[in-house]
Structure 1
Amino acid sequence: MQIEDIEIETEEIQLDQFLKWAGVLPSGGEVKALLAEGLIFRNGEKESARRRKLHDGDVIEITDMGAWRVKVNK
């Protein structure tokens, strides 16, 4: 699996904001639906909170969609 690095300008970002920023999902509602289906993972663990704070190096994977790593632009 290839992981795409996504740069952010802050020290942390919420999961739903990150997925919108990365252009992966267009809305928080879609994030919520995928979380409910158990399809989003953070660092290999199933995620349940759409407002989970992500930090530099966290990897988000969505089943059958791809994987993205948070990179803080320092």
Structure 2
Amino acid sequence: MEIEIRDDMIRLGQLLKLAGLVEDGADVKELLADDAVTIDGEPENRRGRQVVPGAVVEIDLPQGPQTLHVVRRTR
């Protein structure tokens, strides 16, 4: 799934909310505590991690894995 952002970066927690994969920060913390998130193939556990356009975020959710491709919104 492609997720468009308008700035040069977005924080991981915000990205997961924007994608509709979590409802709030508590859900984000739970995913990160379960080692369910990778960015460009590297495990990530920081909610505030800056994610830039071109990044690939993979999330192992109970309903199945999701892959997010972060792209810059064209104006």
Fold similarity call, TM over 0.5: yes
1:26 maps to what in 2? Answer: 23
Identity %: 37
RMSD, matched Cα: 1.0
Distance 2:65 2:71 in 1: 19
Quote the offset at 1:5 in angstroms. 0.8
2:35 maps to what in 1? Answer: 38
Letter in 2 for 1:45: E
Distance 1:25 1:61 in 2: 14
Q: Normalised by the size of structure 1, how large is the TM-score?
A: 0.89
Quote the offset at 1:65 in angstroms. 3.0
Distance 1:29 1:57 in 2: 26
Distance 1:29 1:65 in 2: 19
Is 2:58 aligned against 1:61? yes
Q: Which runs of 4+ in 1 moved over 6 A?
A: none
Q: Deviation digits for residues 16-54 of structure 1, max 9, x if unmatched? A: 001101111111111111111111111111101011000
Distance 2:2 2:8 in 1: 15
2:72 maps to what in 1? Answer: 72
Q: Normalised by the size of structure 2, how large is the TM-score?
A: 0.88
